Amino acid sequence: MVRLQFRIVKKPYKKGLRVYRHEEVTLNFPKELHELLRGLCGKKLEIKGYREGNKIHLIFGDKEEATRKILL
């Protein structure tokens, strides 16, 4: 089971006179998947997603490798 966490991040700018706010979404994977996903560490990822009924499918891929395939 993957946990999806939503939060609002506030960062001050312009000498603290204003606050920049944006929403941040984090996917928290269980420990069993850490070893599987470790190969994606430090790479630029291309993420695609689609919905089938009540399920959302996310596909993670190496963006640089996909670009190389297109160029060849």
pLDDT in tens, the chain (72 residues): 788 899 999 988 877 788 899 999 998 888 988 888 888 888 888 889 999 999 989 888 877 765 555 555
Q: What is residue 69's predicted lDDT score, i.e. its pLDDT? A: 57
Contact 24, 11 (CB under 8 A): no
Q: What tokens were used for 15?
A: 């000498």
- Strand segments, DSSP code E, in the chain are 3-13, 18-28, 45-52, 55-62
pTM of the entire structure? 0.55
Q: Are 29 and 2 in contact (CB under 8 A)?
A: yes
- DSSP secondary-structure letter at 63? H
Residue 40, pLDDT score: 80
pLDDT at 51: 94
What does the pLDDT read at residue 12?
A: 87
Nearest to 44 by CA among 72, 66, 69: 66
Domain spans of the chain? 1-30, 42-72
